[in-house]
Amino acid sequence: MTVLLGCIADDFTGATDLANNLVRAGMRVVQTIGVPAEPLAAEVDAVVVALKSRTIAPADAVAQSLAALRWLQSQGARQIYFKYCSTFDSTPEGNIGPVTEALMDALGTDFTIATPAFPDNKRTVFKGYLFAGDVLLNESGMQNHPLTPMTDANLVRVLQAQTRRKVGLIDHVAVAQGPDAIGERIAQLRAEGVGIAIVDAVSNDDLLRLGPALAQMPLVTAGSGVAIGLPANFGIAPSFAASALPAASGLRAVVSGSCSLATNRQVQHFVASGRPALAIDPLRIAAGVDVASEALDWAAPLVESGPVLVYSTAEPGAVKSVQGRLGIEEAGAMVERTIAAIARGLVGLGVRQLVVAGGETSGACVQALGIEQMQIGPQIDPGVPWCHAMSDAAEGVGLHIALKSGNFGTDDFFTKAFTVPR
C-alpha cells in the first residue's frame, strides 16, 4: 500500500479542511490524530496527520513535524504537504518558517512554495499580500488574535522573519499565464538564491494553474486551497468513489459544546423541530452532580426512535455568567469532559452516527472515543465531512462521525447531516 500525498497539518480542524478538499478532488483520504502507532486502516491516496503544533514552541513543532514526516515516508509518500491556516497564523518565531525549513532539510530540497490562498473561503493573495474577505489580513480582526496576532499582511516579510532561507514571490503575472510561466519564475527565483516563494492566487483557476508546476516538488507548504490542484498530478480526477464510506447504520445522536452563533441557531432549529433535546448545566457539573449519567438515562429510551441532542450550547450572556463563576478554562474543561463522557456513553447505547459540534469539544470526544484514524467521506456543508472511524467504545464496529467547528453549517445542520447519503 503506497500513499501518494503525505500531509502534515498544524491543527485538528485544519487537517479535516485539507482532507475534505483532497476528497473532493478525487483522493481517498484518511486523517490521523497525531503520528499513528498503528498501520493505516484503509487503502488511501493521501494521509493527513493532524498535529497540534501551531502555537507550541518552535523546537517542539519541528520535532513533531519530523516524526510525522518519517512516518509518512515509511508509508511511501511521494510528495509532502505541510498545511497551515489560511490566515497564516504564526508568531515572529514561527512555526511556519521553522517547520518548513526542517522539512526542506530532511527532504534534501532547496526550494518550496508557501501560500495560504483559499479563494473558496475568501482568502486571496495578491502581490504577496494576504486578504481575508475584502480587507488586508492586518485589518481583518486577526491583528487582535490572542495567540497569533497578524499585524502585517505582506507574507514575504512575515515569512522572512521566521526563516534563514531567502523568501521570494511568484506573483500573479506568472500565475495567470500558467504552469510554464510559473516554472520559469521558479527557475529565476532559484538562480537568485530564493528557497521559499510566496505564491499569488486570487481564484480557484489560479490554484489549478499552479498545480502542475508543483508536480516535481518534494515539499509543498500551503493552506488547504492548493490541494485542489494536486490530485491531477497523480492522474486522479474527482469521483464519488473517493468519498465512499461503509454503509451507515445504528442509532443517531448529536452532542454540542459549541457556543458559537451558528451552533446556537442549529440547536434552536433542532429543538423547534420537536425532536428530543437536553440542555446540560455547567453549574450542576461544578456542584458535583453526575450530569453525564443523567443525560444517558434520559437518552436511552429516546434514541431508539430517532436522533437526540445533548447540548451545553448557550447564549453569550449565559456563558459569561458561568465563566465568571467557574473561570473560563475550568468551565471549558469541565464541560468538554462531560460532553466527551456523554458521547462515549451514547456510543455504548448503540449510537453509530454521531455529530459533534465545537472544535475543542470535537478534540475531547475523539480522544474519549479512542479514535486514532478517520476515513473522510462526503461533505455535509463546506469544511464538514462525514467520517468513518474505529472506536473501542463501538465494540469493533465502525462509527460514522461528523466534527463541526463552531461557525460552520447551515441552521438545519443537526437534522440535515443524517440525510446526506453515505
Residue 312 or 373 having the CB closest to ligand ADP? 312
- Is residue 405 part of the contact set for ligand ADP (CB under 6 A)? yes
Q: Near ligand ADP by CB under 6 A, which window of 70-78, 124-132, 254-262, 291-299? A: 254-262
Show the cell assigned to 391: 472506536
Nearest approach in angstroms of CB 140 to ligand ADP is 18
Residue 45 binds to ligand ADP (criterion: CB under 6 A): no
**Cβ neighbours of residue 351 closer than 8 Å, sequence gap 6 or more:** 250, 251, 252, 253, 303
| Contact set for ligand ADP, span 336-395 (CB under 6 A) | 336, 358-361
What is the C-alpha separation between 388 and 248, in angstroms, rounded? Answer: 9
Q: Give the residue, chosen from 100, 260, 375, 415, that forms a contact with ligand ADP under the rule CB under 6 A.
A: 260
Contacts to ligand ADP from residues 71-100, by CB under 6 A: none
Is beta strand 398-404 parallel, antiparallel or unpaired with respect to 384-390? antiparallel
**Residue selected from 19, 77, 251, 319 as contacting ligand ADP according to rule CB under 6 A:** 319
> In this structure, what C-alpha cell is assigned to residue 379?
461533505
Name the minimum Å distance from CB 412 to ligand ADP.
18
* Closest CB 153 distance from ligand ADP, rounded Å: 25
CB burial string 294-314: b at 16+ within 10 A, e below: ebbeebeebbeeebbbbbbbb
- Report d(CA 197, CA 138) in Å as an integer: 21
- The residue (of 85 and 210) whose beta carbon lies closer to ligand ADP is 85
- Nearest alpha-carbon partner for 311 in 280, 290, 274, 283: 280
Determine which residue in the list 50, 170, 259, 387 makes contact with ligand ADP, applying CB under 6 A: 259
Q: How far is the CB of 325 from ligand ADP (least distance, A)?
A: 10
Q: Which is nearer to ligand ADP, 46 or 374 (CB)?
A: 374
User: Is the torsion defined by CA of 199, 204, 206, 209 positive or negative?
Assistant: positive
314 binds ligand ADP (CB under 6 A): yes
CA 212 to chain centre: 24
Distance of closest approach, residue 361 Cβ to ligand ADP, in angstroms: 3
Question: Please, which residue, 257 or 398, has the CB nearer to ligand ADP?
Answer: 257
Nearer to ligand ADP, 160 or 323 (CB): 323
Residue 376, H or E segment: strand 373-381
Q: Would the CA dihedral through 294, 297, 302, 307 be positive or negative?
A: positive
Q: Which stretch binds ligand ADP (CB under 6 A): 78-86, 156-164, 258-266, 385-393?
A: 258-266
Going across the sheet that includes 135-136, the strands are 123-126, 129-132, 135-136
The least CB distance from residue 257 to ligand ADP, in Å, is: 4
Quick one: which of 207, 322, 355, 371 contacts ligand ADP (CB under 6 A)?
A: 322
Total residues contacting ligand ADP by CB under 6 A comes to 21
- Measured in degrees and rounded to the nearest 5, phi and psi for residue 36 equal -70, 145
Strands (E), 146-300: 166-170, 194-199, 219-222, 251-256, 277-279
Question: Which of 23, 37, 27, 96 shows the shortest CA–CA distance to 68?
Answer: 37
- Pick the stretch among 201-209, 292-300, 311-319, 371-379 that binds ligand ADP (CB under 6 A): 311-319
Distance between CA 60 and CA 285 in Å, rounded? 35
Which CB atom, from 201 or from 357, has the smaller least distance to ligand ADP? 357
Neighbouring CB atoms inside 10 A of 318's CB total: 14
Taking CB under 6 A as the rule, which mask of x and - marks residues 275-294 in contact with ligand ADP?
-------x------------
Cα distance between residue 232 and residue 241, in whole Å: 16
Q: Which stretch binds ligand ADP (CB under 6 A): 79-87, 181-189, 316-324, 344-352?
A: 316-324
Among the listed ranges 69-77, 138-146, 253-261, 269-277, the one in contact with ligand ADP (CB under 6 A) is 253-261
One of 323, 367, 379, 410 touching ligand ADP (CB under 6 A): 323
Nearer to ligand ADP, 31 or 312 (CB): 312
Q: Which of 246, 260, 279 is nearest to 358 (CA)?
A: 260
Grid cell, residue 307, equals 436522533
Residues that bind ligand ADP (CB under 6 A): 257-260, 263, 282, 312, 314, 319, 322-323, 331-332, 335-336, 358-361, 405-406
